[in-house]
Structures are given as structure tokens and as C-alpha cells.
Amino acid sequence: MVTTHVKRAYKYRFYPTGAQAAELSRTFGCVRKVYNMALAARTEAWALRQERVNYNATSALLTVWKRTEELAYLNEVSSVPLQQTLRHLQTAFTNFFDKRARFPRFKSRRKSRKSAEYTSSAFRFRDGRLMLAKMAEPLDIVWSRPLPEGAKPSTVTVSQDGAGRWFVSVLVEDPGVQSLPADGNVVGIDAGLDRLLTLSTGEKITNPRHERKDRVRLARAQRNLARKAKRDGANRAKARRKVAKIHARIADRRRDHLHQLTTRLVRENQTLVIEDLTVRNMVKNRKLSRAISDAAWSEFRSMLEYKAQWYGREVIAVDRWFPSSKLCSACGKLQEKMPLHVRTWTCDCGATHDRDVNAAINIKAAGLAVSVCGAGVRPQRESSRTGRSATKQKPSQREP
């Protein structure tokens, strides 16, 4: 068994004092301001003068901004989160020019995530007490699970969600993550709506439909929010938080279920074969978009992939056009049509199939075939934002 040292984030709730909340709110605002000014400077420099502005240049600009009377308030918060947001902007531009994301957008005070990242020079962690720069006392953190023994945080990210909850994410090296012994088990996984997943073993995993369970409460809260006419009023802010709390409840339950499910699948199987679903396009179906979003297939795939990497497993994605549902897993005959309402069908060879189990078996076979043949085990993933593969670039788009 080989120990693989991976960086792992542990996320906890914490309850700031009034002074801490005010300091963090100021930091969030300054982080957003610096990000937006740097984005505007980089965009303008390239559009008007064809000038490239990188992280080093924006860092020098930040120093100049701090010396002006108008932006002197930037000196009141820790400089580390401001430098980190410039690094994040650099990463955003890199992802854009590699066709993995859209062009960076300005951060909105209302809609953007409120967060600030601190590196080791801007916090002190000792005996389970975390002290951030510019603060007089440690954060009141609820340690819901222990950090790895002897862990030394490299970065700490503080955030606040739309429901008003405060979180701290601690990034540490986790020596406890170990490659699991190879067992040779291979499983095909077919994603669905009536059943969240169907495995090639015949197991069917029920779709919890977390959003549907809270749909009535959510609709009532959204109607209440819509009746608040004063945009910046206290009543509207209170109603907005109620809606955000319901969304947070749904997302938390969904994430917890997916974590338990993906961990079990990775521990039980050496190779996991899935379909390369284009969820981005599938949610354009107005009849199914709500159910598809609630199933969170993209989040499931992301969890499956990084956990497989942690534990020495393999995830194979078969081509999205592979006719897994229409292909007989017994004789290999391809059916001409297979409408969605057909859940069981009988092939000319006499084999009767459950639609989802048959698809999972075919997905498993396709994954094994490409793996044995040494072909590309996974189709080119397109950007979830741009909808274009990384190999297709417009001649006019070059990095500034």
C-alpha cells in the first residue's frame, strides 16, 4: 500500500464576533474591489494598446492604488487576500486562453461569492486555535472533525454564503490518504433521473430528489421575496436570506449524499466506467432541466474523479454518442429506436433487458474495450462555460 500525500481542504463552520465579522466584511469588499480594478486594467491595456498585463504588473498596480487618497482604505485590511485575488485573476485568464472557461467577469457585490484567502504569513494556527491577520482574537470554529495529526495548514479561506453562514476552509497535506489495494473490480455506471445511478451489477440507487422535497417551501419563500418592492430594504434582505437558507439546505443534503455514494463506489471498485454526459446542453430541455440540475451529475463526476485519483483507482468516460441503451448486451444488436418511456424491452435474440441495467452493462464493456486496446479512454472534455474543446481556438484570441 503506497501512501500518497495530497492536499486536502477541511471545511468548518465558525461564529465570528461583531468586530471579526466587520473586519472580514471589509476584507471581502476590498478583495472584490482589487479584483475588479485589476480585471479592468488588464482588459483596457490589451484592448487599447495591445499590452500584456500579468500578475506582477497588477501587483505593482496594487501598490500604486494603496498610495492614493481614494483607495487608502485598502491598507486597513491584510494585504495577503488582496495579493491572492490577483493570483486568482491570473488563473482565470490562463483558463480562458486554454479554453477551459469564459472570459473573467467582474465580481458583483450581491451575487459573487464572499471569500478571502490567507496564506501562512497571514495567520497563526496553534493548539487548535486559528488567528487571522488584523484580528485580536482567534476564530470560534466548530471542529466537527479533526484535522490530520500534526497537520500544518498552508492556506486558510474564509467565506460567507448567501444564507449568512460563515465557513473556514483549511488546506493541509493529508498523509492518511492511501492508495487502496487493487481488486480488479470493474463497474459500469448509468446516470438517470428516476434512479440516480444504475450499476452494471444490477444495483439501482434511488434518486433522493432533494430539491423536490423542499419545492413548496422554496416557492413560498420566493413569492415572499418577490413581494418586497424596496430593493435595498431590510425586509427584502431578510426574505433573501430565507430563500438562500432553503437553497443551502438542499445543496448540503445533495452534497452529503454524493460524498457517501462516490466514496463507496471508489472503495469497492478498481475501475469505474461512466458516460461523458453534456449536462450543459441537457439542461436546455425545459421539461427536464430542473430534475437534471437536482441530480447533479457533473458534481458526481467531479467527486468520483478526484477520489479515484486519491485512492489509486481509474475512471473511464466513454463517448457521449455511444448507444448504450439501444444496444443489446447479449447479442450486440442495435435497436433503431428507444424512446425514453420504454423501460424494459426484448431483443430479437430473446433476451429481455431492463433499460438502465442494460445500458450500465454496455458502458462497462465499452470502457473495458478502450482500456484494453490502449485507445484514448476518455473523450475530449469541453469547457463547462465556453462549450468548446481545448484544441479548438479562434485565431483572433491570443493571450494578452
Set 117, 211, 305, 356: catalytic member = 356
Q: Are 189 and 202 in contact (CB under 8 A)?
A: no
Spell out a b/e string for 375-399, using b for 16 or more CB atoms within 10 Å of the CB, else e.
Answer: eebbbeebbeebeeeeeeeeeeeee
Query: Is 190 an active-site residue?
Result: yes
- Residue 84's SS3 state is helix
Read off the amino acid at residue 13. Answer: R
Contact yes or no for 327/355 (Cβ under 8 A): no
* CB-count burial class (<10 Å; 0-12, 13-18, 19+) for 29: middle
In Å, what is the CA distance from 318 to each residue of 273, 331, 363?
7, 20, 7
Q: Is 42 exposed, middle or buried, given 0-12, 13-18 or 19+ CB atoms closer than 10 A?
A: buried
DSSP state of 68: S
How crowded is residue 351: how many other Cβ atoms within 10 Å of its Cβ?
Answer: 14
Let me know if 194 is a catalytic residue. no
Q: Annotated catalytic residue: which of 190, 294, 305, 382?
A: 190
Cβ 304 vs Cβ 265: under 8 Å: yes
Helices 55-67/18-49 angle, 10° precision: 120
CA dihedral (193, 337, 277, 273) in degrees, to 10, reads: 90
**Annotation marks residue 354 as catalytic:** no
How many CB atoms within 10 Å of residue 149? 7
- Point out the catalytic residue in the list 117, 174, 211, 275: 275
Give 198's strand partners: 190, 204
- Active-site residue list: 190, 275, 356
